[in-house]
Amino acid sequence: MAVLDHRAELNRAGANATGFFGTARFLMRRYPLGAVGAVIVVLFVLTALFAPWLTAYDPTSTNPRASLARPTADHILGADFMGRDMWSRVAYGARISLAVGVGSTFLGCLIGVAVGLTSGYFGGWYDLLIQRLIDIMQALPLLVMALVMAASLGPSLQNTIIAIAIPLVPNVARVIRSNTLSLREMPYVEAARAVGMSELGIAVRHVLPNTLAPLIVLATAQLGAAILTEAALSFLGLGIPEPHPSWGRMLSESAAEYVRTAPWLVIFPGIAISLAVFGTNLLGDALRDYLDPRQRT
Amino acid sequence: MGAYLVRRFFLMLLTLFGMSVLIFVLLRVMPGNISDILFESAGLVNPAEKAKIEKELGLDQPLVVQYSTWISGLLRGDLGYAYVSEKPALDEILPRIPITAKLAVLALFFSIVLGVPLGVISAVKQDTPLDYALRVVSLSGLSLPSFWLALLILMGFVHFLGWIPIYTDKPATIWHELALLSIPAAAVGFRASALIMRLTRSSMLEVLRQDYIRTARAKGASAASVNYDHALRNAVLPVITIIGIEAAFLIGGLIVTETVFNIPGVARFLVEAIRWRDYPIVQNLVMFIAVVVVVVNFLVDMAYVVLDPRIKYED
């Protein structure tokens, strides 16, 4: 059973789509907001990948003469207090943001799927224990949990990823668990058991692939949350350490006092965060409509 | 129902107990305690003095002893002494709570007043340009980091009015205080309203498809009567459910917003305490947040039973 059979889905939806471009054109017409989101996300990823080719300055090299330079042809987005080029920092910041966003979403989903799948499939005391653990972890807001985790692990890129991934786990585990509970009762699971397949084999081979659609939907939604949380952590000084150009960190350096004197230091990193999250949210909404129409909002 | 209540209550206690263990362990594995930080910043390296400070603060005790000291104190209402100010932790935390509570209530008010009507409009005008515009607005609300929104508001004040709203400890009147607090509350509330709006919209769409709505239309009820009397009253139920989630959302928003606006509330205090490894403050504050979230969720569950007679919890 192919879960993500795009071609069949599209033909049912009445798309007379042939080839890659035909399909793309149909999807764009059907989900205009999602297409905008996809474009933003692609731009975001490309900026992160090709940052060294897109910028003229090193994001960490300082230049006292350019301190607080206004946006000009030389420094298109201006320069910060230490004379570091803002465009370079924003472009390289995309790397950090993407790394933390994708890294923590991936890690969180990986653990969440393992936990949710096993607790939903095997049930019993193990399930009870996991559910209580999830309750406990959900008693704290994402940011508070991430704050405590980040502080306890110490500031580094790797630790920030872990600090954001762990609070994402309960959400993923809950969705996967409830999905697994209903899948467990499916006739094909019974059939697999009848032909003598091992329980673990059934869980991985038959149940897991069928949780893929809700997982993709969930992961895109979490990606936005992860990027925002990284920004907030770094803004509070507990995320990515200096001299890495993190968008949130750039705002904390510039914050309140530069609101008066150098607004470009406040505006551009904020636009970068908002655009990246906006793009993933738009894309996530469209993906949800497409892959999981029951949840349609 | 009674048995369900009791079971829910004990599960809540269990959750809070687990939370306390989790918080305690997380804080103790943090690299460096306050004595390290004090010594680093002062440049002192006398091990005897450091050991003395650790002994005074009880940091040399085994973890189990430290934990039981904390919990037994907590149950007696004794939160210990803050490391940094050396005042009782309770005296440090309590005076800061009202400010944050006022902010949170104001922000919740903004988010409902903005979110519910816009969600209804968006659902009633489904797939029109207005609906698209409102959905984009609400999605962008979810995409703006709240600290940036706060900074933008500050920038607007500087640019157009030439002054920055500064929260003082002693606002002249309650109206003055409300006016000062409503600016950061709006920044947090706008973000939270996006969540409410999305849920109101999807819940309204669901209800508008029901048979009784068609019946109401068929008997000639006006559009306004159908939308507000028949649909909204049923659609608003799921919206109440997320007030619990909303509470968690608001606390996250308040942490950064209080920092930007320099409001001496409890949320900003948490960040400061974390930076200083001020365990008594951090662990009690985080517990306090957990209690708020858990209790709000409990109350929301109960309110749901009262508001929706179809729901009956099995004993």
Q: What is the CATH number of the domain that holds A114?
A: 1.10.3720.10
Which residues of chain A does B274 touch, with a Cβ-Cβ cutoff of 8 Å? 147-148, 151, 238
Give the pLDDT band of residue A18 (cuts 50, 70, 90): low
Which residue numbers in chain B have pLDDT < 50? 315
User: From the CB of residue A5, how many other CB atoms can be counted at a distance below 10 Å?
Assistant: 11
- Residue by residue, DSSP assigns B113-129 as HHHHHHHHHHHHTTTSH
Q: How many residues does chain A have?
A: 297
Q: Note whether B275 contacts A238, CB cutoff 8 Å.
A: yes
Does residue A266 lie in a domain region?
A: yes
Domain assignment of residue A260, given as a range: 96-297
Rounded to 5 degrees, φ, ψ at B81 are -110, 140
B300 and B202 belong to one structural domain: yes
Tell me, yes or no, whether B57 lies in a domain: yes
CA distances from A48 to A159, A193, A270 (A): 20, 47, 16
- Is residue A2 pLDDT above 50, yes or no? no
What pLDDT is recorded for position A4? 54
pTM value > 0.95: no
Cβ–Cβ below 8 Å for B152 and A251 = no
Number of domains in chain B: 2
Nearest CA in chain A to B13: A136
Mean pLDDT of the region A220-229:
90
Give B-chain residues touching A140 at CB under 8 angstroms. 19, 248, 286, 289-290, 293
Task: Looking at the complex, report in whole angstroms how far the Cα of residue B138 sits from the nearest Cα belonging to chain A.
Answer: 10
The tokens for B22 are 């989790």
Do residue B205 and residue A148 have CB atoms under 8 angstroms apart? no
Could you say which of A140, A266, A273 has the minimum Cβ distance to residue B286?
A140
Query: Is pLDDT at A121 greater than 90 in this prediction?
Result: no
Residues of B in contact with A238 (CB under 8 A): 271, 274-275
* b/e B256-271 (16+ beta carbons within 10 angstroms → b): bbbbbbebebbbbbbb
Q: pLDDT tens digits, residue range A246-267?
A: 888 888 865 667 777 778 888 8
Assess A132–B contact: CB distance below 8 Å, yes or no. yes
Q: Which of B70, B94, B118 is the last residue of a domain?
A: B94
Closest Cβ opposite residue B148 in set A144, A274, A281: A274
Is A285 among the domain residues?
yes
| Nearest-CA distance A193 → chain B (Å) | 33
In a domain, B315, yes or no: no
Q: What is the pLDDT of residue A294?
A: 58
| Interchain contact A173–B (C-beta under 8 A) | no
Residue A6's pLDDT is what?
Answer: 61
Residue B34 near chain A (CB below 8 Å): no
Q: Which of B94, B115, B134 is the last residue of a domain?
A: B94
Domain span holding position B171: 95-307
Does residue A180 surpass a pLDDT of 50? yes
Domain annotation covers residue B165:
yes
Q: Which residues of B touch A256 (CB under 8 A)?
A: 151, 154, 260, 262
> From A281, which residue of chain B is nearest by alpha-carbon distance?
B139
- Name the nearest CA neighbour of A147 among B309, B267, B195: B267
Q: Using a CB–CB cutoff of 8 Å, tell me whether A139 touches chain B.
A: yes
Residue A99: its pLDDT value, please? 92
Please indicate, yes or no, whether residues B102 and B22 belong to a single structural domain of this protein: no
Phi-psi region of A246 (alpha: psi -120 to 50; beta: other; left: phi over 0): beta
Q: Smallest Cβ distance to A236: which of B15, B256, B289?
A: B256
Q: What is the mean pLDDT of chain A?
A: 83
Q: Inter-chain contact B151–A137, Cβ cutoff 8 Å?
A: no
Q: Structurally, how many domains does chain A consist of? A: 1
* pLDDT at site B314: 56
Check if A294 contacts B (Cβ < 8 Å): no
My answer on whether B257 and B197 are in the same domain is yes
Could you give phi then psi for residue A58, rounded to 5 degrees? -75, 135
The verdict on B266 and B144 lying in the same domain is: yes
Q: Show the tokens assigned to B253.
A: 């928003």
User: Does one domain contain both B61 and B171?
Assistant: no
List the Cα angle B114/B117/B122 in 5-degree steps: 110
Residues of B in contact with A286 (CB under 8 A): none
Looking at the predicted structure, is the pLDDT value of residue A149 above 90?
no
Closest partner CB to A266 (pick from B151, B290, B294): B151
How far A173 CA sits from the closest chain B CA (Å)? 17
Distances (CA, A) of B299 to A144, B14, B30: 22, 17, 34
- Mutation pick from A148, A230, A294 vs chain B, by most beta carbons of B within 10 Å, is A148
- The pLDDT assigned to B51 comes to 72
**Chain B residues whose beta carbon lies within 8 Å of the beta carbon of residue A132:** 11, 14-15, 18
Assess contact for B177 and B103: CB atoms under 8 A.
no
- Assigned domain for A63 exists: no
Which member of B142, B205, B290 has the closest CB to residue A281? B142
Residue A79 bridge partners (DSSP): A85
Cβ separation of B290 and A140 shorter than 8 Å? yes
Assess whether pLDDT exceeds 70 at residue A245.
yes
CA distance A76 to chain B (A): 21
Chain B residues within 8 A of A282 when measuring between CB atoms: 139
Cross-strand partners of A85 = A79
* A260 SS3 class: helix
In a domain, B312, yes or no: no
Task: Please identify, among B52, B71, B94, the residue that sits at the C-terminal boundary of a domain.
Answer: B94
Same domain, B151 and B85: no
pLDDT at B33: 62
B149 → chain A, closest CA residue: A270
Instruction: Give A183-198 pLDDT, tens digit per residue.
Output: 888 888 889 888 988 8
Indicate the residue of A135, A266, A282 with minimum beta-carbon distance to B139: A282
Mean pLDDT of A63-75: 71
Q: Is position B60 within any domain? A: yes
B135 shares contact with chain A (CB less than 8 Å): yes
Tell me the nearest-neighbour CA distance from A70 into chain B, angstroms.
17
Place of tokens 């990515």: A240
Q: Which of B145, B252, B289 sits opposite A270 (nearest CB)?
A: B145
The verdict on B144 and B233 lying in the same domain is yes
Dist CA A115 CA A169 (whole Å) = 9
Q: Which of A100, A131, A140 to mutate to test the interface with B (most CBs of B within 10 A)?
A: A140
Of A132, A263, A278, the CB nearest to B140: A278
Task: Give the model's pLDDT for residue A1.
Answer: 39
Tokens of B57: 């603060």
Q: What is the pLDDT of residue A297?
A: 43
- Alpha helices per DSSP H over chain B: 2-29, 34-42, 47-57, 63-76, 89-93, 97-124, 129-143, 146-156, 174-208, 211-218, 223-224, 233-241, 243-261, 266-275, 279-307
Predicted pLDDT of residue B280: 82
For A32, the closest chain B residue by CA position comes to B132
Write the single-letter amino acid at B153. I
Residue A258 to residue B161: CA distance in whole angstroms? 17
For residues A267-296, one letter each, b for 16 or more C-beta atoms within 10 angstroms of the residue's C-beta and e for the rest, the string is bbbbbbbbbbbbbbbbbbbbbbbbbeeeee
Residue B166 and residue B62 share a domain: no
- Residue B314 domain flag: no
Do the Cβ atoms of A148 and B23 come within 8 Å? yes
- pLDDT for B274: 85
A267 contacts in chain B (CB < 8 Å): 155
Check CB contact of B132 with chain A, cutoff 8 Å.
yes
Query: Please, which pLDDT band fits residue A227 given cuts at 50, 70 and 90?
Result: very high
Phi, psi of B88 (to 5 degrees): -60, 135
CA separation for the pair A295, B134 (Å, rounded): 20
Q: Are residues B47 and B117 in the same domain?
A: no
* Cα–Cα separations (whole angstroms), residue A171 to A58, A82, A116, A120, B82: 39, 41, 10, 14, 34
B129 and B270 share a domain?
yes
In whole angstroms, what is the distance from residue A91 CA to residue A55 CA?
A: 8
Residues B26 and B13 in one domain: yes
Q: Is residue B191 part of a domain?
A: yes
The yes/no answer to whether this complex scores an ipTM above 0.90 is no
**Does residue A42 sit in helix, strand or coil?**
helix
Instruction: Please check whether residues B146 and B10 belong to one and the same domain.
Output: no
Of A220 and A82, which is predicted with more confidence? A220
